[in-house]
Amino acid sequence: MHAGCVDVHRLYGGGFAARCGGISSHDLGEEAEGGEEAMTWCCASFQDSHECRLERGLSVIAAEGLAEGDPGFFLLQGRAVAGDDPEPLTHSAPISTVFQTGIVFYPWCGVRLEAFYRDSLRALAEADRSLRIST
């Protein structure tokens, strides 16, 4: 787990934003390094949930649409182990180390995700491609 990343969804019921690797709350509308426009996040909790997506706990990932013209969708994903932790090998029954389910609204601020991230969904999905569990 990154030094600054805590599973606040578990500790506080999701009411507070997590901190991942010393990332502070977002600067909306300011330019990123190199003159690129900074990502506009719906809330600090969503930004942190997306940026902590390889850590143990809850995160949000984006996925490409399944059919031509489908804009894509968002998944709430939970991890029992961090991305670089070894898989548990000594268990008498099969266990899931990662689970996910589709979401339309972000649970902590209520924004409709597809509408809010319409212009950046493809870039988010591309960055998250390796994290999605294939069905």
Judge whether 1 lies within some domain.
no
pLDDT above 50 for 22? no
- Give residue-wise pLDDT tens across range 54-95: 898 999 999 988 788 788 899 999 988 887 888 777 778 888
> Between 98 and 69, where is the model more confident?
98
Closest CA to 40 of 31, 49, 63: 31
Q: Is 16 left (phi over 0), alpha (psi -120 to 50) or beta?
A: beta
Give domain status of residue 104, yes or no: yes
Asked if residue 28 belongs to a domain, the reply is no
Q: Number of folded domains in the chain?
A: 1
Is 56 a member of any domain?
yes
Tell the residue number behind the tokens 């960055």, with chain if given.
127
In a domain, 31, yes or no: no
| pTM of the complete model beyond 0.85 | no
- Does a structural domain hold residue 88? no
Residue 85's Cβ-side half-sphere holds a number of Cα atoms within 13 Å equal to 14
Within a domain: residue 89? no
- Please give the residue range of the domain that contains residue 74: 8-22+40-83+94-131
